[in-house]
Structure 1
């Protein structure tokens, strides 16, 4: 069995390299749902003994996603010029994901490509469903937070300055809530150029991060390091990442991919740098001969239930079934975290709105009430 090609490989030469680079940069990654549908159809056509090139040609005409249409057409052109499927799909890790490219390459190498495509279709379908549930969980709090921020900015910039002149005529010590509102209003009106400058610097950093892989990785590592410590959200992201890892690992194992090749390929499904680094160390320990349960037990992101499952796999030898069980467990825990977030979002949002409204009310009206300008 030949080594599986690295989906990130850039070892191409001549005009082919430039052409692929231009083509790759012109694409945006399609949705998981579009990938799921196309890969499912791809697998059905291959199971029906349709030649690989004919299947790609059909997909290049029937796919509903323009990025995928162009991808299939490019792959077909490469294969007609003599390239293998493994070589033709290698530049498109940004389309099919690194794990998807590695799995397709492994399936083509091992001869069970239809089964791999079916498994990938199920994987991307689950990704689409979990992404939809995650966005649904975040939609309401994001809407509430944005509404509160917009309302506060409008009040601070256009309403509070009118009260500032009135408060200055009182010649008395103002309460802390009023002083804090006046300070924020002054900062927003008089130091607006600072805020614009900060936004410009942030935009510049993000632009540089897109062009610099090192800076992008460092920013991602710092951001995820903070987010993973947050209650609920941290566990939610970890379980989502582990779900993809164990699911991809189980597909590879059940597709009879060699174990030492399946370990690094499964790592490609991990998106959070700290989790990826931790699981990579686990893979190194396993490749050196350490028992599966002991290697994963040293990972801080693996909870006691997963350790128990893996210990059972070590003793029973039913690794394929246990990996699927681990994937189902992580998915279940991920969905539980989303349910907990949804249960807390409404009361926390109500409390946040009440605190902001109370701060504005006390800050604006308390000095007036204390002076007896309004009879209650």
Structure 2
């Protein structure tokens, strides 16, 4: 949105008003509706400092408060919308009915706004794109597919199936992580109690020794001092860091890109992100190709729904290759993301004219790989969990007992 200063002539007097609009004509139109008189001109300008501060405040607060829709509510709404669209009910009336029926406040706001946008002449995909955070990129891509193919009901049914599959994977992920998470929480609580209440009891003894303490003991005493003296400040700093981190992640593309790069280099997380992304990419792309959408256009839509910026950047090169007259499998080779087996399958699909069927097989392969990672997640996390537990136990044991052994040796030496 740009800021325009519009000059209005009313009762022989010129007045200037500020408007946010996409372009000059829209600003003039808004002024004409709001004020009586003749609109003389509209000039693009910088917003006043108060408006800039207000906009920043609203953006920051909305970033903190905003939340995604509950998956159950979203899937149910999409199912209802698909059934109504199949019955011939208009999208506007369907959205209005679902908005009235749902008890989810966030869903009411999203669907209500979309209904108003459609009533104003906007497309469903354009209206839905305003709520990318709430609906998710997959929903936007499938709505666009419905508009391009002219079969919105079928696209919405497929979207609901995909969201249910994603929901099942999330549930499996949470179940796999439940035991390691509970163990680590218990260890963290025990470690905090020991640092806060047990270590101080030994601190007085260690101070009486007036001797050089071993490194593990120094680390324990430092943590004890940090927890008991600056605990609230540390907690406050963590909260502020989380808010700033989230704001930068949502509003700074360069920061988000580097964060995604870091995740793609992190043990275990990189495989989850990689195969989840390739699974969703091939899923949407195969549906688009099967619906008869041109390959270049299908690549654009399926790439736009990818959350990981580095992976999105690599997959965008495939579209460039295809637009220049290259083959799809040649573009996939350039990304270095796909295995040789996959490249051969795509090449065979292009040669035989059965690319849609072959992409379906590729999608099933990546789904299988992703499911295998989720199923083996608990076993993969166990070594990390054991390493952290062993580290905490060794630190506590050496930190407390090494000075005690030194005292015992000193007493025996004097005897």
Deviation at 1:246, TM superposition (A): 1.0
The reply on whether 1:260 has 2:296 as its aligned counterpart is: yes
Q: Matched residue pairs, number?
A: 357
Q: 1:316 aligns with which of 323, 348, 352?
A: 352
The reply on whether 1:230 has 2:266 as its aligned counterpart is: yes
Q: Which residue of 1 aligns with 2:46?
A: none
| 1:257 aligned counterpart, secondary structure | coil
CA RMSD, 1 decimal: 3.2
Q: Which residue of 2 aligns with 1:272?
A: 308
Change (3 A) 1:304 1:138: farther
Q: 1:303 aligns with which of 339, 356, 380?
A: 339
Deviation at 1:57, TM superposition (A): 3.0
Compute the TM-score of the two structures, normalised by the length of structure 2: 0.75
Q: 1:213 aligns with which of 243, 247, 251?
A: 251
| 1:271 aligned counterpart, secondary structure | coil
The reply on whether 1:371 has 2:410 as its aligned counterpart is: no
Q: Which structure shows the higher strand fraction? A: 2
Retained in 1: the 8 A contact 2:173–2:377? no
Alignment partners' CA distance in 2, 1:62 and 1:262: 35
Q: Deviations over 1:149-188 (max 9, x none)?
A: 3332332233223212212323444333323323433444
Retained in 2: the 8 A contact 1:112–1:255? no
| 1:298 aligned counterpart, secondary structure | helix
Deviation at 1:130, TM superposition (A): 1.6
Q: Which residue of 1 aligns with 2:218?
A: 179
Retained in 2: the 8 A contact 1:32–1:127? no
Alignment partners' CA distance in 1, 2:313 and 2:191: 41
Change (3 A) 1:208 1:122: closer
Question: Equivalent residues in 2 for 1:144-159 (5 A)?
Answer: 144-159=183-198
Q: Which residue of 2 aligns with 1:292?
A: 328
Q: Deviations over 1:186-225 (max 9, x none)?
A: 4444565874674366246336426x722xx233222222
Q: Which residue of 1 aligns with 2:144?
A: 105
Question: Equivalent residues in 2 for 1:56-135 (5 A)?
Answer: 56-135=95-174
Deviation at 1:243, TM superposition (A): 0.9
Higher-Rg member (1/2): 2
Retained in 1: the 8 A contact 2:137–2:306? no
Q: Which runs of 5+ in 1 are unaligned?
A: 1-9
| 2:209 aligned counterpart, secondary structure | coil
Q: Which residue of 2 aligns with 1:137?
A: 176
Change (3 A) 1:120 1:203: closer
Retained in 2: the 8 A contact 1:98–1:268? yes
Alignment partners' CA distance in 1, 2:380 and 2:403: 35
Q: 1:42 aligns with which of 81, 84, 93?
A: 81
Alignment partners' CA distance in 2, 1:102 and 1:349: 38
Alignment partners' CA distance in 2, 1:341 and 1:250: 28
Q: Which runs of 5+ in 2 are unaligned?
A: 1-20, 34-54
Q: Which residue of 2 aligns with 1:7?
A: none
The reply on whether 1:239 has 2:278 as its aligned counterpart is: no
| Bigger relative contact order, structure 1 or 2 (CA pairs below 8 A, ≥6 apart) | 1
Alignment partners' CA distance in 2, 1:126 and 1:31: 15
Alignment partners' CA distance in 2, 1:81 and 1:35: 24
